[in-house]
Structures are given as structure tokens and as C-alpha cells.
Amino acid sequence: MPFQIRARSLSALLLPAVLALSACQAPALDEQDSATAHAQQAAEAAKAPADEAGKATEAPPAGNCDASQVQSLVGQAYTDALGKQAQEDAAASQVRVLKPNDMATMEFLGDRLNIEVDEKGLVSGARCG
């Protein structure tokens, strides 16, 4: 009789262990293929926009601003008149003065001239964007 008790208690312990291990099997190959195909479709849909011919659409125009025309301002004291003249010389539609510790948005506007001014009020740089 002791042998029968041990066999029953052993099978009572092994059955849950066998069931638990069988639940840990890898998903069927069909499920893996399906998941891979779904991921590939999502990646293709997230690509850059394309026209009907499949070509990537062009980036928006960069704008007319040309900061190379106003680099001579570096080191000069900034004034409103200097800013207006720089805007005209760079062919920019708007000008933004950036002082030390100023908060600035990060969007790129190709027709905006950014004039960077140091703590003494001197122009330290000029760039478009």
C-alpha cells in the first residue's frame, strides 16, 4: 500500500507541472508568420508619404532667407533698425531676435531670420530657420 500512495501523490504533483509546462510552448508557426506580416505592413504604412507613382513627395520649400548676406552683423550692437535692415538683406519675411536664456520654438521656417544676441546686446550669430 505505501507504494500506491506514493504513486498517487507523485502523479498529483506531476500533473500540474506537466500542464503548466505545456502552456509555455512557443506560438504556432502560423501565428508567428501572421505577426511578422502584420508588423511589416505597419512599417510600410509608416513610410514617408508617396504620390500615385510611388515616389516620395518633396519636402516643403526651404524659403527665401539667405543668412550669408548678414554675417557681417556679428559683433555689432543690435538695434531695431539693424534688425529691419538684416531682414531686408536676407530676404526674410520675418525676423526673430534670440537673447540668452530666451525660450524658442524648434520649428523650421525657411523664410525667418534668427538673430542671436549675447548678454551685452551684440549680435553673436544669424541663421535662417
For 67-128, CATH gives 3.30.10.10
- Is the pLDDT at 5 greater than 90? The verdict is no
Q: Give CA–CA dist 129/123, Å, rounded.
A: 17
- Residues recorded for the chain: 129
- Average pLDDT in the chain: 78
Residue 127: count other Cβ atoms within 10 Å of its Cβ. Answer: 16
Considering only the C-alpha atoms of the chain, give the largest distance between any 2 of them, rounded to a whole number of Å.
Answer: 107
pLDDT (tens digit per residue) in 59-91: 555 688 999 999 999 999 999 999 999 999 999
User: Helix (H, G, I), strand (E, B), or coil: what is residue 102?
Assistant: coil
- Indicate the pTM of the whole model: 0.53
